[in-house]
Amino acid sequence: MQPIIDLRSDTVTRPTEEMRRAMAAAEVGDDILRDDPTVLRLEEMAAEMLGKEASIFTVSGTMSNEITAMVLTRPGDEVVAFADSHIYNLETGGLAAISGVQVRPVASTDGLYGSSALREAIMPEGVQRPRTALICLENTFHLNRGLAIPRTAYEPTIREARRLRLPLFMDGARIFNAAAALKCDVKELVDFADAVAFCLSKGLAAPIGSILAGSRAFVDEARRVKQRLGGGWRQAGVIAAPAIIALQKMTERLPVDHENAETLRCGLEAMGVHVDRGGILTNIVNADLSPLGADAPALAEALAQSGVRVKVCTATTIRLVAHNDIGPAEIRRTMDEIRRFLKP
């Protein structure tokens, strides 16, 4: 039986052998008491890479996002976010349930707020209205597209936020993918953000965790909120150790994933499949089977029977994500199985 090829997400990446060895050998302490040296090293390294004063190691990207809202808003406030953003759609209503805030969703196809759309989303002062307290961004944008957004494209939003004295939060779950695609330093993409988070357990292949960064005052309060949510670590060095390797080594290999994703896009296009070309692409392939009249769930089921896993997005579209466990051989085999389904 051939090995499983899992293209559903880069969250399925397995820790490398070097990461596993680092976990076994990690120097540890009690992080709640701030004496786990490996966690301290990770947080210092991450803050430096992002160009922020401090950072905090959290359980997940969702926890980082929710902590940010709890620190920067009050119950009854309103948060502006993209209608297709992760924080709005995929965190089980956490903004409302945990922070007590509501979301003003703004439609976007490119991960940007039009100046007029953003102005219209900001609530004017009034006794009957919620107070707009936070503007959320996402880079890469859209979980089924993975679009990298250049720093310059955010300028209108930055100006508007500064004019209104509203904080900006960057949900940068795959911000290192964006930096790789844009060939820039990651800190350039988040220099304006009052808070920024990224995931260690997606393309960076660490087994667990997220980083949340910002000013020292923000992180100090974030640490209190993290504790309130039950996110306090004890001997967390065992999982901080592979995260350090993720930052040292896995960030540098992300272009390989982008290349493999592009090979897959080109192969699908040669079969007559329409693929998303609507921006600066990274490791996510969005494939539309409708030009061939094919059914996405049926394709996914056939692929699963052959040991290839993909995500069904709609009746006619699928998502395939390249990551550290996917190489040229896996890409070729995936294309062969898709070709077999489309041309029996």
Closest CA to 68 of 170, 209, 157: 170
Question: 84: closest CA among 123, 141, 147?
Answer: 141
Average pLDDT estimate for 48-69: 98
Query: HSE (CB half, 13 Å, CA atoms) of 69?
Result: 31
pLDDT in tens, 32-47: 999 999 999 999 999 9
| Residue 115 pLDDT > 90 | no
Q: What are phi and psi of 145, to 5 degrees?
A: -130, -40
Query: 229-239 in b/e burial notation, b at 16+ Cβ within 10 A?
Result: eebebebbbbb
89, with CB counted inside 10 A (0-12, 13-18, 19+), is: middle
Contact 112, 137 (CB under 8 A): no
Task: Please tell me the chain's helix, strand, coil percentages from 3-state DSSP, rounded to the nearest 5.
Answer: 45, 15, 40
Neighbours of 18 (CB within 10 A): 13
- The mean pLDDT value for 233-246 works out to 97
State the DSSP code for 126.
Answer: -
d(CA 99, CA 299): 40
Enumerate the β-bridge partners of residue 104: 80
CA of 102: how far to CAs of 134, 300, 302, in Å? 11, 36, 41
pLDDT tops 90 at residue 258: yes
Which domains can be identified in the chain, with CATH numbers?
A: 5-12+253-342 (3.90.1150.10), 17-251 (3.40.640.10)
pLDDT 10s digits, 218-236: 999 999 999 999 999 999 9
- pLDDT, tens digit, 9 for 90 and up, residues 130-189: 999 999 999 999 999 999 999 999 999 999 999 999 999 999 999 999 999 999 999 999
Query: What is the distance in angstroms between the CA of the first residue and the CA of the last residue of the chain?
Result: 22
For 18-156, list the strands marked E by DSSP: 54-58, 78-82, 102-106, 132-138
E strand or H helix at 299? helix 296-305
d(CA 230, CA 295): 43
Query: What is the 3-class SS of 176-228, one letter each residue?
Result: HHHHHHHCCCHHHHHCCCCEEEEECCCCCCCCCCEEEEECHHHHHHHHHHHHH
Query: Which pLDDT score is estimated for 2?
Result: 86
Whether 246 and 204 have beta carbons less than 8 Å apart is answered as yes
Q: What is the mean pLDDT of residues 192-215?
A: 98
Q: What is the pLDDT of residues 296-313, one digit of tens each?
A: 999 999 999 999 999 999
